[in-house]
Each structure stands twice: as structure tokens, then as C-alpha cells.
A = this chain, B = another copy of it.
Amino acid sequence: MPSIQLKTPSASYEIVIASGLVKTLPARLKKLKAGKPFRTFLVTSPEIWGLWGKQVIAAFGKESPTVLFLPAGETHKRLRTLESLLEQMAAAGADRDALLVAFGGGVVGDVTGFLAAIYMRGVAYVQVPTTLLAQVDSSIGGKTGVNLAAGKNLVGSFHHPLAVLADTDLLNTLPAAELRAGLQESIKAGIIRDPKLFGYLENNADAVLGRDAKALTHVVAASVRVKADVVANDERESGLRMILNYGHTLGHAIEAATGYKQLLHGEAVGWGSIAATRLGLMRGMIGKDEADRIIRLILRYGPLRSFKATAARLVDLTSSDKKKRSGTLSFVLPAKIGEAVIVRDVTREEMLAVAEWTLELVREQGAAAKQKQKRK
């Protein structure tokens, strides 16, 4: 089974990608705690628990964990939800030997990781990501946190899990739209760092989208390798790690403009990646053929839902994004398939032009999707 060791200055841990990990979860947790006493607190959403709760409980047998629920969705990724979970842990008598398990998608992982980072100034946790997005991206790298009214992920900690256990069986219950949205992060991984992964996604789209176990495991493992490699080289996002934000600058603006409800994160990142590619092309940083291949692959793994926004609003929202450092807006652009560069001199005019072009494509794709539905 694919296993990747992520080694940073502050932590070293294993990311396992395989089928059947849920069944062996209790034994794996014990091994991770290496004989030390601990009490398991499993954080999940009611939806995921409805699908997988029985199997988890069966795996734990008599030593059932304390289960804490987090309502699904980005709107619950806030400090007030966190406070409720913290109070529940305290009421259940959790001490520093508590071991948290994040059993869910990106929101569950981010909130649980932050919960672990700050409960009694830090307890251990393990990531068991249940969505593709969480398996290939959000569960890896130790970024945890919640949103403010003022913006996404503005509050949080760097706090690494003891391990990431990505059970590919969990992807079988994932809605198709979430699978496709998660694959946008794999495409991103290919664009910025792994031309082979990019090629694999081009050549095996049917198998991947059809959830062929071998194809999915390959894509998840390759995506994880890209992320782990980048994080290992720049744990605290002082340089290289910024390339993981490819597609996210405009992506976050799109999410903010649509109230974080209309599009899945991966869909917004898909649109943002298209915009970044277009900007790279406008600047002559990437050739027309490669830019076309990128945009074609992103749309192949669509449809990306359409949305309404003005270019000015999107550009305004990008400058309030937290990737900004002391007034300069950093932007990750493609140099070629498999290589990204960070530029810091993008002007408002360029941004507006790219946003206009992208919004036009959004309208076209939206109209095409409607036509397609009518024909059905």
C-alpha cells in the first residue's frame, strides 16, 4: 500500500493511502500512541457518521470512542462551533492524553486539527479524511483553523497530525460532484509540480471519474506526494509552499463572492486555476498549447458550476485575501506543465482583464450546461 513519510522541521509522520484502513483504525491508533494511555475522541459530521458510523463502531468493538458531531459545511467552520466542541471535550473529562480523530472532509479536518492544537494547549490527533479533497490536500501539511466573518482560514495553527490514514473505500460514498471537485486539487498538483500526474489525469479520465480503485489510489498517492514534498521543504509557508495556492487567489474570491455556499471549494479552485493559466498566457509565461491543455483538463473534470459576480468585486476580494503580505499581492502562475512560479507584481488592470475573461467562460459553460440539460 502506498505510504508517504512527511518530514518537516517540527514533525515526521506517515500518510497511508489504502483500502480497508477504517477496519484497522483502533490498532493503528494504539500503535501511533506507542503504548501510552489515551482516550479517543472522534469528530465527524452527522452525514458521514450516517454512512460509516456502524463500521467504525464495529472496528472499535468494546473500546468505543467518544463521538463529537460537527454540522457539515463551511458555515460551521467558526469559533462558536469550536467552543462548543471544546466544552464537550472538557465535560467528557478529556485531558492531555486525549487523542482526536478527524473523521470527515476538509471542514472536519481543519476544525478538529485546530481543536487538537488548542485544547489544553495541544493534544494529539489523527486525520482520517473521507473526501477526495481532504485526502489529496487539506488533511496534509498541518494547517488547521476556522473562518472569520472577515475571511476564510484567518484563524488557526500549524499543528501536524500523528498520521494521515486515507482509506480509499471512503470515496465510494462520495457524491460525484465532490469527487470531481476534489480532483481539481490533483490537477493543480500536476500543473505545479508533477507533469506525469498531469498526463495520467489526461489519459485516464474515464477510469478516475468512474472510481476505478487502482486509478484513484494512483491519483491520490501522486497528489499527496506533491503536497508532502512541498510542505517538507517549506513547512511555514514562507516561500515554496505558496505554490500550493495555485488557483486559490481568485478561487477564494469566488467563494467569498458567492457566500461560500454556491460552489464547492474544488470548483472555485478550478475556476481560479483557469484564471491563473490565462494570466500566465497573457504575460507570455506559458505557451498557448500548454495553457490550452491545462484549461481543457480542468473542464474535462467538470462541469464546474457557474456563478454570478463582477470582475471588480472579485478583484477587490483578492486583495483582502490573507496571502497578501504587507500590501503586495502574490500570485502563483504556471511556467509550464509541472512548474509554477510566484510573481508579486500583478496589477489591478491585469487582474480585472483576467477576471472578465474568466467570467465570460463561466457564462459560456453555464449556458452550455443548461442546453445539455434541456436536450435530456
Residue numbers of A with Cβ under 8 A of B are 37, 79-80, 82-83, 86-87, 90-91, 93, 95-97, 117-122, 143, 145, 148-151, 154-158, 320, 322, 324-326
CB distance from A93 to the nearest CB of B (A): 8
A326–B99 Cα gap in the complex (Å)?
12
CA distance A224 to B164 in the complex (A): 41
Q: Check A156–B37 contact: CB distance below 8 A.
A: no
- With a CB–CB cut-off of 8 A, which chain B residues contact A155? 86, 118-120
Out of B83, B90, B148, which one reaches A86, CB within 8 Å? B148
Residues of chain B within 8 A (CB-CB) of A143 are 121
Q: Which residues of B contact A158 (CB under 8 A)?
A: 121-122
Give the chain B neighbours of A324 by CB distance below 8 A: 95
Contact A157 B117 (CB under 8 A): yes
How near does chain B come to A10, taking the closest CB pair, in angstroms?
9
Chain B residues with CB below 8 A from A93, complex form:
320
Given the known inter-chain contacts A79-B83, A82-B79, A87-B148, please indicate yes or no for A121 contacting B326, CB distance below 8 A. no
Inter-subunit contact B79/A120 (CB<8 Å) = no
* A325 pairs with B96, CB closer than 8 A: yes
One of B96, B117, B121, B154 near A120 (C-beta < 8 A): B154
- Bound-state CA distance A135–B155 (Å) is 28
Query: When A118-B145, A145-B118 are in contact, do A151 and B95 touch as well, CB less than 8 Å?
Result: no
Contacts of A117 in B (CB 8 A): 157
Q: Which residue of chain B lies nearest to A93 when distances are taken between CB atoms in the complex?
A: B320
Could you say which of A82, A119, A121 has the most chain B C-beta atoms within 10 Å of its C-beta? A121
Shortest Cβ distance from residue A11 to the other chain B in the assembled complex, whole angstroms: 13
- Of the listed residues A37, A95, A97, A151, the one surrounded by the most CB atoms of chain B closer than 10 A to its CB is A95
CB-CB under 8 A from A150, the residues of chain B are 87, 90-91
Picked from B91, B122, B151, B325, the residue with its CB within 8 Å of the CB of A157 is B122
Most buried by B among A97, A122, A151, A326: A326
